[in-house]
């Protein structure tokens, strides 16, 4: 069964304090791994897609990396506006309808 586990559940950082969020996954053939950002009361906003181990993608202070078992979302020198819940999802090669399996998310809080 395809599974996604994110850790930690919550992370509190001071402004400028870099850290990483983890997404561990089990899937029968990975088609893609996705990172989303979700603000309270809003729908998730797409950040990155990673397709194969070793791949990296960056956007402003965020950098996503992928191995065969997990993905990391690195946040460099975060700012308060980076506070949000970050969701990880996987799509398997056998996924019907292209559906994604989501982790429970990591709630990030960045204090000034």
Partner 1 sequence: DGGITQSPKYLFRKEGQNVTLSCEQNLNHDAMYWYRQDPGQGLRLIYYSQIVNDFQKGDIAEGYSVSREKKESFPLTVTSAQKNPTAFYLCASSIDYRGVTGELFFGEGSRLTVL
Residues that bind partner 1 (CB under 8 A): 4, 9, 31-32, 34, 36, 41-46, 49, 87, 89, 91, 95-105
Which three-class secondary structure state does DSSP give residue 43? coil
Question: Any idea how long the chain is?
Answer: 112
Report the nearest approach of partner 1 to the CB of residue 36 (Å). 8
Residue 91 burial (10 A CB sphere; 0-12, 13-18, 19+): buried
Nearer to partner 1, 24 or 76 (CB): 24
Report the nearest approach of partner 1 to the CB of residue 24 (Å). 13
Q: How far apart, in whole angstroms, are the C-alpha atoms of residue 12 and residue 110?
A: 6
Report the nearest approach of partner 1 to the CB of residue 109 (Å). 16
Contact 2, 27 (CB under 8 A): yes
Nearer to partner 1, 100 or 108 (CB): 100
Nearer to partner 1, 64 or 87 (CB): 87
Report the nearest approach of partner 1 to the CB of residue 43 (Å). 3
Contact 47, 62 (CB under 8 A): yes
């Amino acid at each position: 069964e395809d599974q996604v586990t994110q850790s930690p559940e919550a992370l509190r950082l001071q402004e400028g304090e870099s850290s990483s969020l983890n997404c561990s996954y089990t899937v029968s053939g990975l088609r893609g791994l996705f990172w989303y950002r979700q603000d309270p009361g809003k729908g998730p906003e797409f950040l990155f897609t990673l397709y194969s181990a070793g791949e990296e993608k960056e956007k402003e202070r965020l950098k996503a990396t992928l191995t065969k078992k997990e993905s990391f979302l690195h946040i460099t020198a975060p700012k308060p506006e980076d506070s949000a819940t970050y969701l990880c999802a996987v799509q398997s090669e056998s996924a019907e309808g292209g559906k994604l399996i989501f982790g429970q998310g990591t709630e990030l809080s960045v204090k000034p």
